[in-house]
């Protein structure tokens, strides 16, 4: 009989950008559900090791791998390694992203290329490599942003562009992969309390009053939505964008 408390037992999950913040919480929540979790990180080795150990405490396999999210060939090698060591990837969570604040007159070609490379190009070709090995009924979750629906202040040009693009890819991929029973959804967080954007940081005075609940979200609240979307009995949920934003877009 299936363990209802661990519905992801024996599933293999790949999470990009999993060493901290929302990504780290997603890794731990999937491990709690029984999944074997492999996650990538850019620079935070100490934090990555802590997330790996936290995942293993749930009696699952876990592995942290340092990978440049913009490097397409490195992404392909990553997938070969994961499949070779752990088997087909059942769950993909595209979380890795960068945020560059600059308005139209100040965006450089280097900034533009860097944001496209990480937030869209790398994500696209990594997902392409994953689905070659993803079994029937797989799950893909893209972590977008409410800035993919609107830009409430100046300087979000590159980030909003990439997150609008992620929402578009979610819809397109849900059509492409439907014949294989693979669902594709996008979660769009609002302000969430992380070390990059703390609830008592410089942006809080601007962002908090724009929520209906007058507080920042918690990383666990985003992770719980991921756990639902990759869990059982969600075959009918695909091509959707789900705001997890405390009513910021209400």
- The predicted pLDDT at position 2 comes to 55
* Helix locations, the chain, DSSP H: 21-32, 45-56, 72-86, 109-116, 123-131, 157-177, 204-207, 219-229
User: Does residue 250 sit within a domain?
Assistant: no
User: Does residue 2 sit within a domain?
Assistant: no
pTM attached to this predicted model: 0.96
User: Does residue 1 sit within a domain?
Assistant: no
Residue 183 DSSP SS3? strand
Residues of the chain above pLDDT 70, percent: 99
CA dist 231 and 10 (Å) reads 12
User: Does residue 176 sit within a domain?
Assistant: yes
Tens-place pLDDT, residues 126-150: 999 999 999 999 999 999 999 999 9
Closest CA to 166 of 120, 111, 122: 120
Q: Which residues of the chain have pLDDT under 70?
A: 1-2
CATH code where residue 100 lies = 3.40.50.720
Question: Are the beta carbons of 93 and 75 closer than 8 angstroms?
Answer: no
Which residues participate in catalysis according to the annotation?
159
Checking DSSP bridges between strand 36-41 and strand 62-66, what pairing results, if any? parallel
Element (H, E) at 139: strand 139-143
User: Does residue 6 sit within a domain?
Assistant: no
- Domain residue limits at 142: 12-244
């Amino acid at each position: 009989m299936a363990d209802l408390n661990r519905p992801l037992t024996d599933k293999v999950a790949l999470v990009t950008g999993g060493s901290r913040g929302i990504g780290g919480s997603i890794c731990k929540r999937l491990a709690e559900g029984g999944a074997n979790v492999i996650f990538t990180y850019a620079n935070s080795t100490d934090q990555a090791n802590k997330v790996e150990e936290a995942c293993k405490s749930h009696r699952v396999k876990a592995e942290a791998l340092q990978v440049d999210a913009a490097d397409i060939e490195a992404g392909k090698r990553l997938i070969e390694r994961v499949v070779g060591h752990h088997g087909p990837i059942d769950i993909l969570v595209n979380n890795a992203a960068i945020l560059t604040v600059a308005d139209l007159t100040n965006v450089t070609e280097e900034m533009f290329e860097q944001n496209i490379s990480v937030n869209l190009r790398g994500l696209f070709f990594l997902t392409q490599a994953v689905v070659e090995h993803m079994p029937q009924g797989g799950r893909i979750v893209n972590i977008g942003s409410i800035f993919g629906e609107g830009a409430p202040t100046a300087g979000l040009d590159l980030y909003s562009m990439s997150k609008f693009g992620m929402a578009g890819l979610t819809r397109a991929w849900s059509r492409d992969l439907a014949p294989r029973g693979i669902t594709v959804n996008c979660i769009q967080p609002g302000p969430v309390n992380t070390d990059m954007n703390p609830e008592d940081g410089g942006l809080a005075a601007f962002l908090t009053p724009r929520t209906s609940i007058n507080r920042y979200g918690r990383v666990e609240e985003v992770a719980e939505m991921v756990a639902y979307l990759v869990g059982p009995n969600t075959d009918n949920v695909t091509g959707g964008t789900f705001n997890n934003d405390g009513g910021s877009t209400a």
